[in-house]
Amino acid sequence: MAATQPPQQSQARPAKPAPPAKRDIKILMLHGYTQSGALFRAKTRALEKMLQKSLAPFNLAPVLLYPTAPNRLRLQDMPGYTPPEEGAEVAEEQESDSWAWWRRDEASGAYRLLTEGMDRLADTIQEAGGVDGVLGFSQGGAAAAMLAAALEDRQVPSQPVDHYDWSWVDRVRAANEHRPLSFAVIYSGFFAPPPALAWLYEPAISTPSLHFIGGLDTVVDETRTQSLVDRCIEPAVLTHPGGHYVPINKEWVMPLVAFVKSHSEQAAAGKPDAKI
């Protein structure tokens, strides 16, 4: 009688560990004067794709938010506008799909409609459930620095001044659950000189910041950008050889990737003072 063989026991393979969950990094993207959120996204689409692809191996998923400023500009408000010839029929209020975070008063230099612009940021932040960082271009870069400063633990003026009230500060702080930003990235930004806004720069902005300067920028002079850089604590500064735009080739996007990665990881580890 043939000997029976004991049944072979199947060896269960150990289950593969689940890959780490990706962590969303929410970044507010602020367009420049005369632009819109949709236009800014179209112009920075290549940057957005490269940022997402480059951060994916580190389980970081950038989520870019593109609000449009609330203050519509008329054609008459556009740089380089030429009035029609005398006698030509034209609407008194010509509007365009161009927007601003505020309007500079030519007589006094004050920033009119600033509260409306910052309220739009508060709404966007609240809808997103808070943000981690901000990236802004030109007027949007100036707004990005102001937002970063306002979210820091600094004293807000107690009384309205001239064209300004400070109700928007409480709104943006509440929208971001009273958390400061982990980083601010500023392209062709500038310091806001109205004296009523000095509290946003004194003391200097401590949020980690990366500034891109266009070496051939004729719209925002380098001295205006440097004035903002000088009001930030240990800023990282890069000068590209172009003009007034956001450079989207790999050479200039990879420093952005490294900066966002560094400060996102440091913020998650509870070390907000990381440097690029």
67 in a structural domain: yes
Res 104 pLDDT > 70: yes
Res 173 pLDDT > 70: yes
90 in a structural domain: no
111 in a structural domain: yes
If pLDDT is split at 50, 70 and 90, which confidence band does 84 have?
Answer: low
SS (H, E, C) the chain: CCCCCCCCCCCCCCCCCCCCCCEEEEEEEECCCCECHHHHHHHCHHHHHHHHHHHHHHCEEEEEECCCCCEEEEHHHCCCCCCCCCCCCCCCCCEEEEEECCEECCCCCCEECHHHHHHHHHHHHHHHCCCCEEEEECHHHHHHHHHHHHCCCCCCCCCCECCECCHHHHHHHHHCCCCCCCEEEEECCCCCCCHHHHHHCCCCECCCEEEEEECCCCCCCHHHHHHHHCCECCCEEEEECCCCCCCCCHHHHHHHHHHHHHHHHHHHCCCCCCCC
> How high is the pLDDT of residue 82?
59
Res 19 pLDDT > 80: no
Q: What does the alpha-carbon distance between residue 158 and residue 58 come to, in Å, rounded to a whole number?
A: 43
229 in a structural domain: yes
62 in a structural domain: yes
> Stretch 231-258: mean pLDDT, rounded?
97
If pLDDT is split at 50, 70 and 90, which confidence band does 275 have?
Answer: very low
Of the candidate ranges 37-41, 126-130, 150-154, 158-162, the one whose mean pLDDT is the lowest: 158-162
> Stretch 197-207: mean pLDDT, rounded?
97
> How high is the pLDDT of residue 273?
45
273 in a structural domain: no
Q: What is the CATH number of the domain that holds 190?
A: 3.40.50.1820
> How high is the pLDDT of residue 87?
54
CA angle 53, 28, 191 (to 5 degrees): 120
Of the candidate ranges 3-17, 130-144, 229-243, the one whose mean pLDDT is the lowest: 3-17
If pLDDT is split at 50, 70 and 90, which confidence band does 163 have?
Answer: confident
Domain range holding 171? 23-74+96-268
226 in a structural domain: yes
Res 89 pLDDT > 90: no
Task: Supply the pTM of this predicted model.
Answer: 0.87
Q: How many domains does the chain have?
A: 1
- State which of 17-31, 77-91, 193-207 shows the largest mean pLDDT: 193-207
Maximal CA-CA distance, the chain: 118
Res 88 pLDDT > 80: no
10 in a structural domain: no
Which tokens hold the place of 163?
A: 């064209």
Q: What is the distance between the terminal CA atoms of the chain, rounded to a whole angstrom?
A: 78
> How high is the pLDDT of residue 24?
97
Res 233 pLDDT > 50: yes
Q: In the Cβ-directed half-sphere of 3, how many Cα atoms lie within 13 Å?
A: 2
- State which of 71-75, 80-84, 122-126 shows the largest mean pLDDT: 122-126
